[in-house]
Homo-oligomer: A and B are copies of this chain.
Amino acid sequence: VTAPGLLSVVGIGPGGRAHRTHAADEALGAANVVIGYGPYLDQCADALAAGQRVVRGEMGDEAGRAARAVDEARAGARVALVSSGDAGVYGMATLALEAAAALPEGDRPRIEVVPGVTAALAAAALLGSPLGHDFACLTLSDVRTPWADVERRLHALAAADVALALYNPRSRGRPWQLGRARDILAGHRPGGTPVGVVTDAGRAGQRVTLTTLAELDPALAGMTSLVLVGASTSRMAGPWLVAAR
């Protein structure tokens, strides 16, 4: 009797053991096959077990990994598909669920999404509680979304007066988007609005910078940064950035 296949899409949190959940550990440890982007596999290496088949994927081949994970589970394997942060926030869950949904109903494997500490929460905790009241998460990546749509959302979210967690603020191939986002937000919020830039939260080389909207230097952010922008409810409480009710 073959064990029924199961695909767990596992959010491993910001990296390292501290902010990873027990459910993530258990899904990783119980898998026959573990699939993920190489550096994320390294971040959860301590949760893997001997004898597992580990498939290291490349950046940019997220859809390929999702399809492979669905295929393996369909063939009866217990599969862990690794996602950074929360699997359901700019993570692997959508791709995996869409790959499974494309199959005839009887061919779909069982799938569970294992939530995790997403980058916004890990970064916020290092600054105080900047997401303590209403907030939005927005990606500045225009790889799959037209930049005009990102701008429209930036304007609307700025008007909504919620704190913002900006994902994918900057990379070598997308160097100008954060500066443009800053300029848009500065049209809606005071220049003194607190801004936090957190890089490699919870990992080696973690960096936390507190600045303001007017003074935000995009060069502070890189591929592994998260930028938090305050709202009118945001303020400094001693050394901590908080959002009041």
Contact of A240 among B101, B105, B132, B152 (CB under 8 A): B101
Within 8 A of B (CB), among A54-71: none
Contact of A97 among B135, B136, B242 (CB under 8 A): B242
Residue A238 lies at the interface, judged by CB distance under 8 Å to chain B: yes
Residue A121 lies at the interface, judged by CB distance under 8 Å to chain B: yes
Please classify the interface of chain A as helix (H, G, I), strand (E, B), loop, or mixed, using the class held by over half of its residues: mixed
Q: How many residues of A are counted as interface, with CB atoms below 8 angstroms from the partner's CB atoms? A: 67
Residue A220 lies at the interface, judged by CB distance under 8 Å to chain B: no
Q: Which residues of B contact A156 (CB under 8 A)?
A: 156-157, 159-161
Q: Are B135 and A139 in touch, CB under 8 angstroms? A: no
Please list the residues of chain A having a beta carbon within 8 angstroms of any beta carbon in chain B: 11, 13, 17-23, 26, 86-91, 93-94, 97-98, 100-101, 105, 108, 111-118, 121-122, 124-126, 128-139, 144-145, 152-153, 156-157, 159-162, 237-240, 242-245
